[in-house]
């Protein structure tokens, strides 16, 4: 078993022992199926070279699985009642775990760096992950192959070249659904060190993250997220895998960071990324309207500078070869990037 807390009985026992109950306001739905944990770590492709950033560890159910299958784990938790619980449930891995008690939306890079620096490497403390010698082999955390098996030798911590990493390279979490979409995009934007995110989210949010142009789920959020990452696998998780069961279906989704280039093969700088995000917001300001009218609605609400820019919209679309009668959901990522470049070229843009 990957995590001894992954049952309804074990979860209830831990909560009762600490005089706690689940808090709906914080979106607390604890995972109680070990098979789902195994699928999460397999999708995340964890090994002892990896350092993980987690949000919402709860009582430590997923955290234990991460500590068994990765090098170090830094978790962020806003519930003031849970640090004491985690101090108990994570005792065997305490040297490789650090907790930051705050709202993850306010998290800074420096806070994560300082927390990770306090964690010991497996070779410095308790070597817990059994990792095959082939670094490219898939993670095997099935019940028949315990992650603590002595048949597998622990690997050194770091990036593969013997150096200690200063910031986690993977984001793995069972996220509070109310902030999941915002948090994933925020982390990809703020923390360029993150190579991937493997996250449990509401199914509808996963649909938006994976949407393609022309689909009903494709919107400004999809465009913004695709500037930083692309989907690399997902699976459905039904409500009966949680305690208490949520009223919605969930999905675990992996997103891989990828570099995005413009039509000339140049990487997108911060200014162009910001401009492209503005174009996405403008294109979907009024989803049922044409892109021309949606742009007008958006910029009309952006003060005098925005209103002054409305006259530039026809030329902007024409320069990019985009029919003014199209709708935002029909535009590809490349077309949004082209709009962003054209937008930056206009001195009257309200950025």
Q: How confident is the model at residue 130 (pLDDT cuts 50, 70, 90)?
A: very low
Q: Is 17 exposed, middle or buried (0-12, 13-18, 19+ CB in 10 A)?
A: exposed
Task: Give the tens place of pLDDT for each residue, 16-58.
Answer: 999 997 765 555 789 999 999 999 999 999 999 999 999 999 9
Task: Give the tens place of pLDDT for each residue, 183-203.
Answer: 999 999 999 999 999 999 999
pTM of the model: 0.88
In this structure, the strands spanning 229-237 and 97-101 are: unpaired
pLDDT > 80? residue 160:
no
Q: How confident is the model at residue 162 (pLDDT cuts 50, 70, 90)?
A: low
Give the pLDDT score at 7: 96
Mean pLDDT of the chain: 88
Give the pLDDT score at 147: 32
Q: How confident is the model at residue 137 (pLDDT cuts 50, 70, 90)?
A: very low
pLDDT > 80? residue 107:
yes
């Amino acid at each position: 078993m990957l995590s001894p807390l992954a049952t309804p009985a074990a979860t209830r026992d831990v909560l009762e022992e600490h005089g706690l109950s689940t808090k709906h306001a914080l979106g607390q739905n604890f995972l109680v199926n070990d098979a789902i944990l195994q699928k999460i770590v397999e999708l995340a492709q964890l090994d002892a070279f990896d350092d993980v950033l987690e949000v919402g560890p709860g009582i430590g159910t997923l955290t234990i699985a991460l500590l068994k299958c990765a090098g170090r784990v830094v978790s962020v938790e806003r519930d003031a009642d849970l640090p004491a619980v985690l101090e108990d449930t994570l005792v065997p891995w305490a040297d490789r775990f650090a907790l930051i008690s705050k709202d993850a939306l306010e998290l800074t890079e420096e806070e994560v760096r300082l927390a990770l620096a306090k964690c010991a490497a497996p070779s410095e403390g308790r070597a817990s992950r059994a990792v095959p010698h082939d670094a490219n082999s898939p993670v095997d955390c099935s019940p028949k192959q315990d992650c603590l098996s002595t048949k597998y030798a622990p690997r050194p911590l770091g990036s593969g070249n013997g150096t200690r990493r200063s910031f986690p390279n993977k984001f793995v979490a069972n996220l509070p659904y109310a902030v999941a979409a915002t948090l994933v995009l925020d982390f990809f934007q703020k923390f360029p060190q993150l190579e991937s995110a493997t996250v449990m989210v509401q199914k509808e949010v996963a649909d938006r993250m994976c949407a393609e142009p022309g689909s009903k789920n494709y919107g400004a959020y999809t465009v913004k997220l695709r500037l930083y990452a692309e989907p690399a696998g997902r699976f459905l998780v039904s409500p009966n895998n949680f305690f208490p069961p949520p009223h919605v279906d969930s999905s675990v989704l992996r997103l891989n960071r990828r570099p995005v280039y413009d039509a000339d093969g140049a990487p997108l700088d911060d200014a162009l990324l910001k401009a492209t995000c503005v174009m996405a917001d403008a294109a979907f300001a009024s989803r049922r309207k044409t892109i021309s009218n949606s742009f007008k609605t958006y910029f009309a609400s952006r003060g005098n500078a925005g209103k002054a820019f409305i006259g530039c919209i026809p030329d902007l679309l024409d320069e990019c070869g985009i029919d003014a009668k199209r709708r935002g959901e029909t535009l590809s990522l490349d077309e949004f990037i082209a709009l962003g470049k054209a937008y930056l070229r206009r001195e009257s843009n309200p950025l």
